[in-house]
Amino acid sequence: MSQKRLQFTTKLGVIATTVGSAVGLGNIWRFPYEAGEGGGGAFIVVYLLVIALIGIPVICAEFVLGRSSRRNIFGAFRHFSPKGKWHYVGYVGILASIMILSFYSVVAGWTMEYIYQSVSGGLDYGTAASFQGQFDEFSHGNWRPLMWTVAFLLCNLLILRRGVQKGVEKMSNIMMPILFVLLVVFCVNSLMMDKAGEGLQFLFNPDFSKVTPQVVIGAMGQAFFSLSIGLGTMMTYASYFSKKTDLRLSATITAVLDTFVAILAAVIIFPAVFSFGESPAQGPALVFEILPAIFSQLPGSAVWSVLFFVLLFIASLTSTISMSEVSIAFLIDEKKMSREKATWLNTGIAIFFGALCALSFGCLGDVKIFGLTIFGLFDYVTSNILLPVGGFFISLYAGWVLDKRIFNRELADGRRSFFAWLMRFCLRWVAPAAILIIFLSQIGVL
Ligand code: PFF
């Protein structure tokens, strides 16, 4: 099996696909709303710490485990520890990947509605308040969100059926650079708004009295979600890397670019939030109310808006493809299913749960579990619980169980390397301890 495995073809292809997985709605939709709810600057400081101390080491661990075993998350653990129970971590990853795919597709479906609205002129000349009304009306109506969720999952299916290499690599190569340029343009535009200073103050002047266990766990969850780690996505992708791929470089570039895009998105959103007199803590709707209002002030608003939502749609696709690959690679490698069958099964399950998530803004709005809607529950449980749990065990495994020589060979060609030492140190001590402490303080033990 290992010889036949597909490989990404170029260096750029590797970076573009891992960045393509990392950059998506997590950066542009979720980061601003989490930062807004977490009090801005304080949230961002914690977030950056988590990226550096836990995020980058865990990406490295996933890369090492994936490339050296050439297997999916479940198979990788079984390969190195056939007798242990480590492969159960694979089940956590697979569960997380299906749950994320379900609610993520709902939001990706919203981007499709917004592309449609921009083309048909429905997003022109509104204020943030009127877009708020428009978003509420759309998301509460049951059929349209449901239809777009299914439509998005079918787009995802079409690309997945063709295999990872052809579809994802090509699309990411073209799309990522255009998205960066567009974000920079919008960023400059936002910085020229009259209350830009207030927005920047909110983002970059941390008020540490706002750091509660809830904020810390939110920032940690966001970091895991944004870097696509803790569930085996980066492990599965690394199983397609060639021996020549520089894992250190790929891990660092992925984390840096991903963080850069998230910060850019926040710098686009918050100056506008304050200039329009809106509240930063509006939850999941935030970006879908503020962005159209920004676009409608620009000359040629519909063009900007179509371009942006099309790119966001593609960025979402490159992310959902990567998370789907976790369960598809598992079904193909371990359950010997055909790619066609595995892809349909993955899509079918996601359509079912995605429909529940989509309707939880409408007719299922009253269904509350632990005080959260179905959508809210999927979002919270995956980012704040399942991914950090996965990350905890991946760190422990790579730091304590995996042969040190394999770790060094993959990260530094077997040579002495400060980077490899530092990563292993973080995986042994810092990441597991930090995740544990954050969990314990969340449940009130510490
Ligand atoms: N990192 C993606 C984003 O920020 O949009 C979301 C994601 C992709 C999460 C892949 C998990 C995953 F496996």
Residue 8 has pLDDT above 80, yes or no: no
Which ligand 1 atom is at minimum distance from the Cα of 31? Answer: 4
Give the amino acid at 409.
R
> What does each C-alpha distance from 324 to 70, 228, 273, 298 come to in angstroms?
17, 12, 34, 37
Q: Is the CB of 354 under 6 A from ligand 1?
A: no
d(CA 161, CA 150): 16
Q: H/E/C letters for each residue in 269-285?
A: HHHHHHHCCCCCCCHHH
Ligand 1 mean position, distance from CA 257 (Å) = 14
Walk me through the domains of the chain, giving residue ranges and CATH numbers.
11-442 (1.20.1740)
What are the φ and ψ backbone dihedral angles of 236, each rounded to 5 degrees? -65, -45
Q: H/E/C letters for each residue in 351-414?
A: HHHHHHHHHCCCCCCCCCECCECHHHHHHHHHHHHHHHHHHHHHHHHHHHHCCHHHHHHHHHCC
Residues 6+ positions from 276 with CB-CB distance below 8 Å: 127, 128, 290, 293
**pLDDT of the residue at 394:** 98
Ligand 1 mean position, distance from CA 440 (Å) = 25
**pLDDT of the residue at 368:** 97
Q: Is the CB of 35 under 6 A from ligand 1?
A: no
> What does each C-alpha distance from 230 to 40, 67, 70, 318 come to in angstroms?
25, 16, 18, 18
Q: Is the CB of 324 under 6 A from ligand 1?
A: no
Asked if residue 76 lies in contact with residue 59, where contact means CB atoms within 8 angstroms, the answer is no
Which ligand 1 atom is at minimum distance from the Cα of 316? Answer: 5
122-154 tens-digit pLDDT: 877 788 888 999 999 999 999 999 999 999 999
Mean of pLDDT over the chain: 93
Mean pLDDT of 369-379: 97
Q: Is the CB of 27 under 6 A from ligand 1?
A: yes
Residue 165 has pLDDT above 90, yes or no: no
325-362 tens-digit pLDDT: 999 999 999 999 999 999 999 999 999 999 999 999 99
Residue 272 has pLDDT above 70, yes or no: yes
Ligand 1 mean position, distance from CA 322 (Å) = 8
Q: How many residues does the chain have?
A: 446
Nearest to 90 by CA among 227, 232, 224, 228: 232
CA atoms within 13 A on the CB side of 241: 31
What are the φ and ψ backbone dihedral angles of 369, each rounded to 5 degrees? -120, 125
Mean pLDDT of 161-168: 68
Radius of gyration of the chain (CA): 21
**pLDDT of the residue at 1:** 39
Q: Is the CB of 231 under 6 A from ligand 1?
A: yes
Beta bridge partners of 372: 369
291-314 tens-digit pLDDT: 999 999 999 999 999 999 999 999
Q: H/E/C letters for each residue in 20-87?
A: HHHCCHHHHHHHHHHHHHCCCHHHHHHHHHHHHHHHHHHHHHHHHHHHHHCCCHHHHHHHHCCCCCCC
9-43 tens-digit pLDDT: 677 778 888 999 999 999 999 999 999 999 999 99
d(CA 311, CA 303): 12
Q: Is the CB of 19 under 6 A from ligand 1?
A: no
Ligand 1 mean position, distance from CA 149 (Å) = 17
Q: Is the CB of 322 under 6 A from ligand 1?
A: yes
Query: Ligand 1, from 21, 34, 95: best to mutate by most atoms within 8 Å of Cβ?
Result: 21
**% the chain with pLDDT above 90:** 85
Q: Is the CB of 156 under 6 A from ligand 1?
A: no
Sign of CA dihedral 102, 53, 390, 322: positive
Q: Whose CA is nearest to atom 9 of ligand 1?
A: 228
DSSP class of residue 230 equals S
Q: Is the CB of 117 under 6 A from ligand 1?
A: no
Ligand 1 mean position, distance from CA 104 (Å) = 9
* SS3 assignment, position 229: coil
Confidence of residue 2 (pLDDT cuts 50, 70, 90): very low
DSSP class of residue 428 equals I
Angle formed by the axes of helices 387-396 and 431-442, to 10°?
A: 150
Which ligand 1 atom is at minimum distance from the Cα of 387? Answer: 11
405-434 tens-digit pLDDT: 999 999 999 899 999 999 999 999 999 999
205-240 tens-digit pLDDT: 999 999 999 999 999 999 999 999 999 999 999 998
Ligand 1 mean position, distance from CA 55 (Å) = 13
What are the φ and ψ backbone dihedral angles of 372, each rounded to 5 degrees? -115, 150
Residue 4 has pLDDT above 60, yes or no: no
97-114 tens-digit pLDDT: 999 999 999 999 999 999
Confidence of residue 316 (pLDDT cuts 50, 70, 90): very high
Mean pLDDT of 156-184: 82
Which two three-digit tokens encode residue 359?
Answer: 């309707």
